[in-house]
Amino acid sequence: MSFQGEIMEQVSEFTGQVLGWLSSLFVFFVGMVLLLVAILFIKDISQTKDAIRHNYPVIGRFRYLFSTLGEFFRQYFFAMDREEMPFNRAEREWVYKSSAGVDNTIAFGSTKNLSPVGTPLFVNCPFPTLDENTTAAPAVLIGPYCRAPYSASSIINISGMSFGALSIPAVQALSKGAKLANCWMNTGEGGLSSYHLEGDCDIVFQIGTAKYGVRADDGKLDDNKLHAVALHPQVRMFEIKMSQGAKPGKGGILPAAKVTAEIAAIRGIETGKASISPNRHPEISNIKELLGFIKHVREVTGKPTGFKAVVGSYEWLESMCEEIQRCGVECAPDFIAIDSADGGTGAAPMPLMDNVGLTIKEALPVVVDVLTRYGLRERIKVITSGKLITPAGVAWALCAGADFITSARGFMFSLGCIQALKCNKNSCPTGITTHDKRLQQGLDPQEKSQRVRNYVNKIHYGVGLIAHSCGVSHPRELKRKHCRIVQADGKSVALDELYPLPEVLENYRG
């Protein structure tokens, strides 16, 4: 036999051996699959906890797989640009492109349906403001009766997100980005960490119901810790959290898996144990105690102090203003931060998230009107939040009467959030709301801080476009007359007709 023949014979023999191995491996694999199916079949049909699995052994398990994967498939393959909740693809894409600093213009026409009831439409004038006549929005002074009042210029700012709910690199990126954008950053209720201070940005320290970061051993406010926080020059204001949009009547919830040793040390709680805050401040059970608590914090810190709340019933706002009449404008909160019932959170009970509180579209005009009626609108600054992540939402809030807008989820999108809805699972795929070091590796604080700055700049630019189209020189000049709201008959009504500003009460002593 020739040499070539021997080679061919060896190749043929080797091929036969490989095919034999593959055949045996296939038979083994099929056998294992059948064995696994048999085990699952017996397990499913013998259990009674799940009717689907009992009645449809093995096959019934795919229901849960498809249900889990459904939220991802909908986002990428089935949902239209304006269909998803809480934020649709068009809104997210605007934030992504703005943050990345790329072109965010659109073509051919809007995909937004302008006919649903409640849609805001801005009233352009025939002679818009010329570019050379536009001006930057002026700064607003908060806390004129404080030892250290705060002059803030940015219209959009970072809402409360605690270290714990957010990862280390996320907090670092927001801190650095806030400095670059000249906006403030709210700590959320988790206390002040070194990562908040890293970027040297302006900080609003939030005092939650559990007093994390300024908490005494008995859970009450520790004045020494409060004073120590106030000594940081970056801390410019203090916000007393009364309630939060996604869970009014319920305190903060940080799952046990996210309570690391570092987070526990900052909060003053146990490592690995769920952080559950009280549903309200035990020291505050009425208007007098609220104003007294605000006064106390302001005296200890010397800095502007206000409170954050979701508006449901609003008679208490009238009572608060009447009490301020009695004690004088000095005792008033320096600001009120109004959160919307459709606000976001890392973890909340569904009954509260879906059904409790008023949305900002109703609450903001009501609060502004009450303060105006009692002559307190200039004394008490109004901050608002609730799905206001695009220039249109921010411009509406300014028209309704807000001084500042804050956003949490808008800034999360600027960091790269994909709305995976895993904030409470410690498995956020973008590294924003997880303490898994592997998942955090893709979040570069230096790079993401630039995206935060870009986002703030694009918000200001976009709101400016709307303002100039309405004929004013800067966004803070927007009034209710510049916005119309679509009604059930398809026509729109001016916001100042729906919510006419009230006259100041004659007996106001402020």
Residue 470: give its domain's CATH number.
3.20.20.70
pLDDT at residue 504 greater than cutoff 90: no
Neighbours of 110 (CB within 10 A): 9
Do 127 and 72 fall into the same domain? no
Residue 58 burial (10 A CB sphere; 0-12, 13-18, 19+): middle
Q: Which of 93-107, 147-161, 320-334, 443-457 has the lowest mean pLDDT?
A: 93-107
The 10 Å Cβ neighbour count of residue 371 is 24
Q: Are residues 159 and 74 in the same domain?
A: no
Distance CA 354, CA 461 (A): 33
Look at residue 109 and tell me if it is in a domain: no
User: Does residue 53 surpass a pLDDT of 50?
Assistant: yes
In a domain, residue 95? The reply is: no
Per-residue CA distances from 332 to 42, 142, 376 (Å)? 68, 12, 9
**Is residue 425 included in any domain, yes or no?**
no
Q: How many domains does the chain have?
A: 2
Last residue of a domain, one of 78, 111, 131: 78
Do 265 and 362 belong to one domain?
A: yes
Quick one: three-class SS letters along 139-158? CEEECCCCCCCEEECCCEEE
pLDDT band for 414, please (50, 70, 90 cuts): very high
The span from the CA of 268 to the CA of 262, in Å, is 10
Position 221 pLDDT exceeds 50: yes
* pLDDT score of 270: 83
Say whether pLDDT at 509 is over 60. Answer: no
Confidence of residue 76 (pLDDT cuts 50, 70, 90): low
> What's the predicted TM-score (pTM) here?
0.85
What pLDDT does 510 receive?
Answer: 46
Q: What digits encode the pLDDT tens for the residues 377-399?
A: 999 999 999 889 999 999 999 99
Radius of gyration of the chain (CA): 28
Confidence band (pLDDT; 50, 70, 90) for 7? low
User: What domain range is 463 assigned to?
Assistant: 122-146+155-418+439-498
φ/ψ bin of 488: left (φ > 0), alpha (ψ from -120 to 50), beta (otherwise): alpha
Q: Which among 204, 173, 200 is positioned nearest to 186, based on CA atoms?
A: 204
Task: Give residues with Cβ within 8 angstroms of 291, minimum separation 6.
Answer: 320, 323, 324, 327, 331, 332, 333
Mean pLDDT of all residues in 24-53: 84
* Helix, coil or strand: residue 38: helix
Section 339-362 average pLDDT: 75
Percent of the chain with pLDDT over 90: 53
47 with 136, same domain: the answer is: no
- Where is the domain boundary, 78, 101, 134? 78
In a domain, residue 72? The reply is yes
Are residues 47 and 161 located together in one domain of the fold?
no
Residues 285 and 165 in one domain: yes
Q: List, as one string, the DSSP characters of 255-295.
A: -GGG--HHHHHHHTS-TTS-EE--SS-TT-SSHHHHHHHHH
